[in-house]
Structure 1
Amino acid sequence: MTHHFVRNVAAAAALIAIGASTDAAAQDTGLRPGWSFEIAPYIWLPSVSANLRYNVPSNFGGTADVKANADDYFANLNAAFALAGTVRYDRFSLLTDIMYVSASAGSSRVQSVNLLDVGRDPISSTVDAAGNSTLKTTLWTLAGGYTVASGTWGNVDVLAGFRYLGIDSTTDYSAAVTLVGPRGNAGPTFGGAGRLSGSDNIWNGIVGVRGRINIAESGFFVPYYLDIGAGDSNFTWQTFAGIGYQTGWAGVQAGWRYMSYDQGGNRLVQDMTMSGAYLAVNFSF
């Protein structure tokens, strides 16, 4: 994360906090005093689109670029766990969100191979480089927050923290051609049927805003969330919005969640997006 990026984001967050705090001073804060806790198990089954760059297993080195798509996580789901939680003391809060998903991306294709001494060789769909990828993904967010504005209408929190993405992926491929090095069988080869595998750990600092807008005194509300960040990624961002209902210590909310990563170089995850419906139940005490 560049210093320039950090300064710009910090300045924007400070302006939001100053302006919102001024408005909040003249109205009911709507805050629950003292300690409060919230636990929210949830389901998020996004469609996933990822460009992956594997290291080709060879003494001579090289990479293979794979396009993997999972349009229906539910149909290809192997395992899933997701839980969010918030600890709050007056205006201060600490939130965490952890999710683990193992799913297959049946629509996968090797797009190009770059072997040392051979160079980059694009592979067209006519050579039948179709395959299947399995993505095991762990997402963990931890951030501190501060309520800059609140009232009977809802609240606005600014937050700062980090997000971790850990991914283990494998791609089974079947290509109708075989690429070889200039020394024949003594050189690097790629083709036929085989498997590529890789793993990556991506850490990013994030800043953002979150909260809810209450709909009159009906118990219904509109939750919202947005963060942006950088670090191991060139850029990452996440957003969520939906509709919820709260009665006493229990509630439910549904909506749409989107997350994006943009990297480069020879990292496994070149870029990845996750987008889909979200359903959560929350318990407050």
Structure 2
Amino acid sequence: MQITKDVKIMSRLLSSAGCLISLAMLPLNALAEASSSDGWKYTVSAYMWVSDIGIESSVGDNIDIEFDDILDNLDLAGMFSVGASKGKWGALADVIYLSISHDEDPVDIEIENFIVNAAGTYNISHSEHFNVDLLAGARYLSMELTLNNLNNSGTEQVTDGVIGVKGNYVINQSWAIPFSVDVGTGDTEKTYHLFAGAAYRFDSFHLVGGYRYMAWEFGDEDVGGLVMDKLVISGPMLGAHFSF
């Protein structure tokens, strides 16, 4: 029996029964303003990520889990992040966990992802309308894949160094355009992350919407019998950003 070529899990979590609601600040912390004072600033965000997961392989058949099955397939999802800055310097740490299973014929599959992003930041531009930080750090991925009907399982653990930029363009007192992009390598051939969106400012927080894309290129790694070439997590997101 051929193993999976393409696993695409359409995680349409923006529904009343199945929202992925979590604490996070990556990339919404692009809205945090650089401080000219010596005091510490902190950021926290809560958002919903309407994400898809795709696993590409160079061999085998396709497995597609339909949208109607997503709420049953989602076992557990959560994210937690913290950010802090003082003057031009800052740091961020972000944790993402996602567990999905599908046990209907002809496939019985479980996927568990654990992702950690950590970076230091340095502000290189801060004005009335434009704010940009350089970032450098690491991205860790642990992916456990189980094909129960074939009695195969495996775990892929990789760590990559990443560099990039994040920031926001302030249109007026109410609207801004946040963005974040990074690229890296190490245990994988390449990893990259992109985010762009729009933010509306209220008195005590920002409401942010946009699109986020995160990917790893492995070069045909064998994980639990699946020859995996690329992992992609992507989709629109909506959240609230708080600074204190």
Q: TM-score when scaled to structure 1? A: 0.65
Which residue number in structure 1 is paired with residue 139 of structure 2?
Answer: 163
Are positions 1:147 and 2:127 aligned together? no
Q: Distance in 2 between matches of 1:249 and 1:47?
A: 31
Any conservation in 1 of the 2:112–2:145 contact (CA below 8 Å)?
yes
Change (3 A) 1:210 1:261: same
Is the CA contact 1:70–1:106 (under 8 Å) kept in the aligned structure 2?
no
What does residue 103 of structure 1 align with?
Answer: 100
Equivalent of residue 212 in structure 2, options 247, 257, 263:
257
Q: CA deviation at 1:243?
A: 1.1
Q: Cα RMSD between the aligned structures?
A: 2.6
Tell me if 1:224 matches 2:179.
yes
Distance 2:96 2:54 in 1: 18
Return the alpha-carbon distance in structure 2 between the equivalents of residues 270 and 230 of structure 1: 15
Distance 1:165 1:216 in 2: 38
- For residues 26-56 of structure 1, what are the alpha-carbon distances to aligned partners after superposition, in whole Å with 9 as ceiling and x for unaligned? xxx9635221000113222311111369xxx
Q: Which residue of 1 aligns with 2:198?
A: 243
What residue number does 1:200 align with?
Answer: 156
Alpha-carbon distance, 1:66 to partner: 6.9
Stretches of structure 1 lacking an aligned partner (at least 5 in a row): 1-28, 54-63, 108-128, 174-193
The answer as to 2:236 corresponding to 1:277 is yes
Residue 98 (structure 1) shift = 1.1
Quote the residue 2:15 is aligned against.
Answer: none
Structure 1 pair 51–67 and aligned structure 2 pair: CA distance change class (3 A) = farther
Distance in 2 (alpha carbons) for counterparts of 1:135 and 1:226: 26
In the alignment, which of 54, 64, 81 is matched to residue 84 of structure 1? 81
The CA deviation at 1:197 is 1.0
> How far did residue 279 of structure 1 move?
2.0
Alpha carbons of 1:74 and 1:212: their partners in 2 closer, same or farther (altered >3 Å)?
Answer: farther
Match in the other structure for 1:24:
none
Q: Percent identity?
A: 26
Letter paired with 1:278: M
Q: Which among 39, 47, 53 is matched to residue 48 of structure 1?
A: 53
SS of alignment partner, residue 102 of structure 1: strand
How far the C-alpha of 1:74 sits from its partner, in A, is 4.9
* Corresponding residue to 1:38 among 35, 40, 43: 43
State the SS of the aligned residue for 2:107. Answer: strand
Structure 2 length as normaliser, TM-score? 0.75
Task: Please tell me whether the aligned partners of residues 77 and 103 of structure 1 are also in contact (alpha carbons under 8 angstroms).
Answer: yes
Specify the code of the residue in structure 1 equivalent to 2:186: G
Question: Cα distance, 1:132 vs. partner?
Answer: 3.4
Greater CA drift, 86-95 or 38-47:
38-47
Q: What residue identity is the alignment partner of 1:198? A: G
Q: Which runs of 5+ in 2 are unaligned?
A: 1-32
Listed one character per residue, the Cα deviations across residues 162-192 of structure 1 (whole Å, up to 9, x for unaligned) are 001111111234xxxxxxxxxxxxxxxxxxx
- Distance in 1 separating the partners of 2:196 and 2:66: 21
The letter of the residue matching 2:112 is K
Q: Which has the larger radius of gyration?
A: 1
Q: 2:176 corresponds to which letter in structure 1?
A: F
Equivalent residue pairs, number: 205
Partner secondary structure for residue 217 of structure 1: coil
Separation in 2, partners of 1:98, 1:66: 32
